Amino acid sequence: MLQDNPLLVQLKKQLNSKLTRVEGVVKGSEKGFGFLEISAQKSYFIPRSFMKKVMNGDRISAVIQTHKDREIACPEKLIEPCLQRFVGRIQKKNNRLFIIPDHPWLKNAIPCNPRYDLNHCFQDGDWTVAKIQSHPLNGDEVFYAELTEFITTTEDHLAPWWVTLARYDLEREAPDVPIPTKMINEKIKRKDLTEIPFITIDNAHTEDMDDALYIEDIGQGRLKLFIAISDPTSYIETGSKLDQIASTRSFTNYLPGFNISMLPRKLSEDICSLRPRKNRPALVCCVTIDEDGTPSKSIEFFTAWIKSRARLVYNSVSDWLETNRTSSWQPENKEIANQIDLLHRCYLARSRWRKTYALLFKEQPDFRFVINKKGEILDIITEHRRIAHRIIEESMILANICAAQELSNKFGFGIYNVHYGFDKINADQVSEILSHHGIIEDPLTIVSLDGFRNLKRKLDSQPNTFLANRIRRFQSFAEIRTTPGPHCGLGLEAYATWTSPIRKYGDMVNHRLIKSIITGETGSHPKEELATNISDRRRKNRMAGRDISEWLYSLFLKREIGSNRLFTAEILDVSRSGMRIRLQENGAIAFIPSVLIYAVREDLICKHDSGSILVKGEVLYRVTDLLNVVITEVRMDTRTIIARPAFLSNKSTFR
């Protein structure tokens, strides 16, 4: 009866209205208490007793109370849990199952049980997928998880791959579906180019060869380039089961050690692969290039049959070109040698054109893990991009520029890679940073394609990459769009890829649209949901590759603890707690805590905004600096590599 009393209800409302409520993210400590972070500058203390109701990383609302002159946060409502679906390892205690989340912030042992249809007898250390079913802020007494999928055992050497793929809900294998062996009736006429000496240039181990090139010297310094791309859409019906699978996967997932094909391997590595001396259907772009590298406006796309004359390897072709044709490998005939020479000439002209009218990449080496069948890391090999890689890359970029122009002119839609450079929100900050270094740029100018290109050229002319590195974090991310937009990273007005259709579903979509242009049909505008899915899959694949690499790097460098081996490292970023570095020898990312940078902590300041570390007001290190480091610790639970400078700075040695 009392609870229905109107006076009591009114009083309760008045009391609640006077309470201070805040929203933030829970950050726990090793000592059991925590903080509710409202912003970078504001946080509230959470006592141990209240931390039992939340997890590190939960976004919650809380009521602020004052206790002994200290404001504390009392968790009230769960807004977004840190954990929903997650992976972890089983811990058995007294025949009860608990799961330890594989998460850098969480060490909670959460009570759990298998789902009713999961028939696996879980053992200590097993890897599994789970879902949180109970949370104290949702009115439940304790945290509780349901095991939904067994991943692998603790002894499995391939655990880094299987656990990571399960974390991002990605496939383990190529599609297992019936393989189309007959071409569909597209009612399209193919030119017979089987007598033209196309060549492919790939890595020695590549099986899914999707591009072949042929080039002619047509006089007056001009070249005519034929870019032939494998044509899986001639076998895969739009909307078929295989097409739906490819749409969902979006990409072949390239991971350290192996790849997981978007299409059945029989299709991608045999039926559609541009193998030498095999007739293959292809979609071809023919473009004329002037002596200065400018492509003609009259671009021709058509379907054809081609037959590659030679399967060449990047390193062999590079050796031949870089040694002035004196390497041990030699082209098998003059015809192939002439093709290589003309393609090299085309690359030189196109790279000059891009340097003048667009932008060139800053080349970074690739790091390849050498892994045996047991999943053990034998070595990490540095692979620099050589001249043959650049020849193929430049040809594919040109082909994608042509496709973007054709799709934009004829339809105004397709699958485009779009990169807007700096958005207006960050432009003022970028302009301010530049001004401190003597570069004056109008914020309204650098958000345009021309402004971005001009700024990038100025930064490339700087004596080091420090300034370019500082403003890179203000750049927007590349996106997948169904309508044209600039690609500032390449310095181009539009960019639409179609050159890897057996590896990218977006390229298959663009193939079908280009075929519609060839046949004079009306193309179908791709759905926005498709662009969203492609973007999401690209992000997941990249994160999976990064996570597996971190795991493998940790296993590989664990053996270096105590060896005092010196590694040269570049400083990538500075935070309040230290600096993040990349080992030049193998590409591993490591962290140097501030306590290992300088012996007298009070004299040390780590400034993220300027990317520098100061001692007594003088710069000791800054982003892009190189230094020698030693590996001191590897934390396998978080796959974190800890290093220290080879010589710890202290009061007596610092100048």
Which one-letter DSSP state was computed for residue 645?
E
Cβ neighbours for 539, distance < 8 A, ≥ 6 positions apart? none
Which one-letter DSSP state was computed for residue 412?
S
- With CA atoms as reference, report the closest residue to 106 among 88, 130, 126: 88
- With CA atoms as reference, report the closest residue to 396 among 208, 207, 211: 211
Residue 41, SS3? coil
The amino acid occupying position 639 is R
Spatial separation of the C-alpha atoms in residues 259 and 543, rounded to whole Å = 15
In 156-280, alpha helices (H)? 159-167, 241-249, 265-266
Residue 91, SS3? strand
Other Cβ atoms less than 10 A from the Cβ of 4: the count is: 7
Per the CB < 8 A criterion, the answer to whether 540 and 170 are in contact is: yes
Spatial separation of the C-alpha atoms in residues 25 and 79, rounded to whole Å = 10
The DSSP result for 451-510, as a single string, is: HHHHHHHHHHTSSSSHHHHHHHTTBPPPEEESS---BTTTTBS-----S-TTTBHHHHHH
Spatial separation of the C-alpha atoms in residues 355 and 633, rounded to whole Å = 43
Per the CB < 8 A criterion, the answer to whether 537 and 249 are in contact is: yes
3-state secondary structure 95-159: CEEEEEECECCECCCEEEEECCCCCCCCCCCCEEEEEEEECHHHCCCCCEEEEEEEEECCCCCCH
Structural Rg of the chain based on CA atoms: 29
Instruction: Enumerate the β-bridge partners of residue 229.
Output: 211, 283
Per the CB < 8 A criterion, the answer to whether 465 and 458 are in contact is: no
In 252-323, alpha helices (H)? 265-266, 314-322
Instruction: Enumerate the β-bridge partners of residue 618.
Output: 615
Spell out a b/e string for 490-517, using b for 16 or more CB atoms within 10 Å of the CB, else e.
bbbebbbbbbbbbbbbbbbbbbbbbbbe
The structure tokens 């205690």 sit at 93
Per the CB < 8 A criterion, the answer to whether 133 and 105 are in contact is: no
- With CA atoms as reference, report the closest residue to 210 among 72, 306, 79, 336: 306
Per the CB < 8 A criterion, the answer to whether 583 and 627 are in contact is: no
Cβ neighbours for 479, distance < 8 A, ≥ 6 positions apart? 417, 418, 419, 420, 485, 535
| Catalytic site positions | 202, 208, 210-211, 314, 503
